[in-house]
Amino acid sequence: MSDRQRQRLGAESVTLAYEQRVIARDLSVEIPDHSFTVIVGPNACGKSTLLRALSRMLKPTEGRVLLDGQSIHSLPAKKVARTLGLLPQSSIAPDGITVADLVARGRYPHQGLLRQWSPEDERIVQESMESTGVAELADRFVDELSGGQRQRVWIAMALAQQTPLLLLDEPTTYLDIQHQIDVLDLCAELHETQGRTLVAVLHDLNHAARYATHLIAVRGGEVVAEGPPSEVVTAELVERVFGLRCQVIEDPETGTPLVVPAGRQARARRSLPAQGPAEGPAKESAEGQEAVLQK
Amino acid sequence: MTTKTLRTGGGVSVRYAPRAAFSGLGLILLTLAVGTVLVCTGDFPMTPGEVLDTLIGRGTVVQEFAVMELRLPRVLVAIFVGAALALGGAVFQSISRNPLGSPDVIGFGQGATVGALAVIVLFQGSAVATALGAVVGGVLTGAVIYLLAWKRGVHGYRLVLVGIGAAAMLTSVIHYLITKANLVDATRATVWMTGSLDGRDWTQFWPLLAVCCVLVPLVLGHGRALRMLEMGDDAAYALGVKVERTRIVLMASAVLLVAVATSAAGPIVFVSLSAPQLARRLTRAPGPNLAVSAVMGSALLLSADWIAGNAFGDRQLPVGVVTGILGGCYLLWLLVSERKAGRI
């Protein structure tokens, strides 16, 4: 890893734990600059934990998370917030807040007690709302919006923070398929047109394969594979990471890898006696659990 | 946009919501008006002009005594007690994300009362010692509730539940202390507990002023961070708020403000609960509305004091009784009218 050129954000042999429960040990990753990195893996594999660590929400018990070569926890909170943004999985919109006011809160790390609102803030909030398509909702109350619109508003807030790095924790959860694609298109657009480095945790492997420029596959707190989706997403790897037999074909729309799970009967026929079709995923999660509970 | 910006040269800019600013201004005027009325009226009525003369030292001895010794300190104590209680309430309601998470519900008022009563009943302490006991009781209660409610950060429901439990226990202790007391102490204790501004003078005012001078700016200065906290810890973290430190500073300040206010005027109910809610509905702005809440608390308590003294003929009610009725009615009316308007 030392021969690689240092990227802006990375974790250096970190041990991640909630209280006594160790999720990952001696984990190292680097987020390539200007990439759209997607972290994938089965439930409870530690992918959200990794994202929390990268966003300094979780302090590693060992090792360090590095931002521009410095330990992220030693940097001033507001300074980090001007470099690295995060869209958390669950945020609470205060009662009776308008879209414009919520997006404006993204400017917080750039403001102070005596400099609360500059013309630049105004401009950036407007731009953030425009690039996420919520400008016409500016005066609406956030609690009146649909789930998809609300997610766009939260993304607008994160954009208003104007950070070169943006982390998104399962940005498509609770959205229907149309809004999922909508949010991912938006992310891809932000990545392409604004040159921001995006890191997202996604559940859907096909979404990840289609939108990511860099994929990190995690299982049991370890990075199993990383690289461009076309190299990473193979039938062999999907089985290794998710315990699912499948075919990987070319996405007819985009040419990216598309995971097609093997049919129920095909999986039953091809699987070993000890690894029945119903047991496959269950065993997998039990293993994941073991890795989690090692300590 | 519902917010406007005030700019000066040198890049200083302050963001405000016009409605909130006008509400605050209106409440300040109301406080001043009621305060003036209270200083002018009583057994020895005076005109505002005479009061002004007295204030600059040109009044008669009787006027001097009525204004400087009786009425002015009482009005000032009411203003600061109201503001301190309301500010403490606004902070706790915001941190617990629950209107019920206000200090008089979650045990701080009761804790201060236990402290004061312990001094009265167990040590027959002086008024100053009683006030000190109230502060110690309130702060200790705050610390214990914080520790019990803490689980990788303080969470709203936990805080409210632990607080309500503590309040119930402390209420039992209060009753126990009263049964243990002799008649004189029990009467003193009961009078203290009703929450009243009667006979408040400069000895109550100066410590209150000192504490408010330090803590009110401190709390208001953390107001923007508190706003970010309302979106959840993760979102606040992401925006660069030092989540745990902000919360501890604010909670400690709020506990102290409430404890000191209670030590000055006894447990006056409902101001911490209702003032922030009233302020929020009046300003129609999201967020804790700290400054407006504080002025609302002053206006509410002062108005309640005037009503307590005048609305019931010769019978003077303790102000705490009136704050409950006044604040409660206003809040109910607001809730009903908001439901009609479809906002809740």
Residue-wise pLDDT tens digits, B265-286: 988 888 898 899 889 888 888 7
Confirm whether A52 is domain-assigned.
yes
Give the pLDDT confidence score for residue B155 in this predicted structure.
72
**Total Cβ atoms within 10 A of residue A146:** 11
Q: Does the pLDDT of residue A64 top 90, yes or no?
A: yes
Position B141 confidence tier, pLDDT thresholds 50, 70, 90: very high
Structural domain contains residue B2: no
Once rounded to an integer, what is the mean pLDDT over residues B31-49?
A: 89
CATH number at residue A52: 3.40.50.300
Is residue A245 in a domain? Answer: no
Strands A165-169 and A84-87, how do they pair? Answer: parallel
* Token code pair at residue A155: 């993304």
Residue A290 lies in a domain: no
**How does pLDDT run across B285-301, given as a tens digit for each residue?**
877 889 999 999 999 99
**What does the block give as tokens for A263?**
């049919």
Q: Please tell me the predicted confidence (pLDDT) of residue B2.
A: 60
* B87-130 pLDDT tens trace: 999 999 999 888 888 888 888 889 999 999 999 999 988 888 99
For residue A171, what are the domain limits? 9-234
Cα distances (angstroms) measured from residue B186 to each of B109, B193, B194: 19, 10, 12
Q: Is A282 within a domain?
A: no
Contacts of B11 in chain A (CB under 8 A): 115, 118
Residues A161-189, mean pLDDT to the nearest whole number: 92
Instruction: Confirm whether B60 is domain-assigned.
Output: yes
Smallest CA-to-CA distance from B231 within A82, A105, A100, A151 is with: A105
Q: A214-219 and A36-40 as β-strands: parallel, antiparallel, unpaired?
A: parallel
Q: Is the dihedral of CA B302, B305, B310, B312 positive or negative?
A: positive
Q: How far apart are CA B220 and CA B214, in angstroms?
A: 11
Euclidean distance between CA atoms A203 and A195, whole angstroms: 24
* Identity of residue A257: P
ipTM of this predicted structure? 0.82
The neighbouring-strand residues paired with B15 are: B5
Give the number of residues written for chain A: 295
Q: How far, in Å, CA of B104 to CA of B84, rounded?
A: 13
- Interface size, chain A vs chain B, as Cβ–Cβ contacts under 8 Å: 99
Is B41 strand, coil or helix? coil
Q: In the structure, what pLDDT confidence band is assigned to residue B200 with cuts at 50, 70 and 90?
A: confident
Q: How far apart are CA A195 and CA A208, in angstroms?
A: 19
Lowest mean per-residue pLDDT among A111-115, A168-172, A212-216: A111-115
CA distance B15 to A140: 20
Residue of A nearest to B10 (CA): A115
pLDDT greater than 70 at residue A287 = no
Q: How far apart are CA A184 and CA A199, in angstroms?
A: 12
Instruction: Please determine, for residue B321, whether its predicted confidence score (pLDDT) is greater than 70.
Output: yes
Looking at the domain assignment, is residue B6 inside a domain?
no
Task: State whether residue A73 sits within 8 Å of chain B by CB.
Answer: no
CA atoms within 13 A on the CB side of B331: 20
Question: CB contact, 8 Å: B158 with chain A?
Answer: no
**B309 vs A237 pLDDT, higher one:** A237
| Per-residue model confidence (pLDDT) at position A115 | 80
Q: What is the pLDDT of residue B153?
A: 65
Alpha carbon separation from B93 to B241, B283, B300, B317 (Å, rounded): 19, 17, 18, 29
Within 8 A of A96 by CB-CB distance, chain B residues are 284-286, 343
pTM, 2 dp: 0.86
Mean pLDDT of A212-219: 95
pLDDT at A290: 41
Residue A248 forms part of a structural domain:
no
The A residues from 158 to 177 touching B (CB cutoff 8 Å) are 158, 161
Asked, for residue A75, whether it belongs to a domain, the answer is yes
More confident residue, B114 or A114: B114
**pLDDT at residue A272 tops 70:** no
For residue B203, being part of any structural domain is answered with: yes
Q: Look at A117 and B15 and tell me if their CB atoms are within 8 Å.
A: yes
Residue-level pLDDT at A60: 94
For residue B253, give the CATH number of its domain.
1.10.3470.10
The first and second tokens of residue B115, run together, are 């402290």
Between A225 and A277, whose confidence is greater?
A225
Domain annotation covers residue A61: yes
**In this structure, how many other beta carbons lie within 10 angstroms of the beta carbon of residue A140?**
15
CB-based contact, B285 to chain A, within 8 Å: yes
* Predicted pLDDT at A247: 92
The tally of domains found in chain A comes to 1
Residues 218-247 of B with CB under 8 A from A: 221, 224, 227-228, 230-232, 234-235, 237-242
Could you tell me the residue range of the domain that residue B72 belongs to? 20-341
Is A104 inside any structural domain? yes
Domain total for chain B? 1
Question: Would you say residue B168 has pLDDT above 80?
Answer: yes
- How confident is the model at residue B343, as a pLDDT? 54
A90 to chain B, any CB pair closer than 8 A? The answer is yes
Query: Is B10 inside any structural domain?
Result: no
How big, in percent rounded to 5, are the helix, strand and coil portions of chain A?
40, 25, 35
- Closest chain B residue to A106 measured between Cα atoms? B239
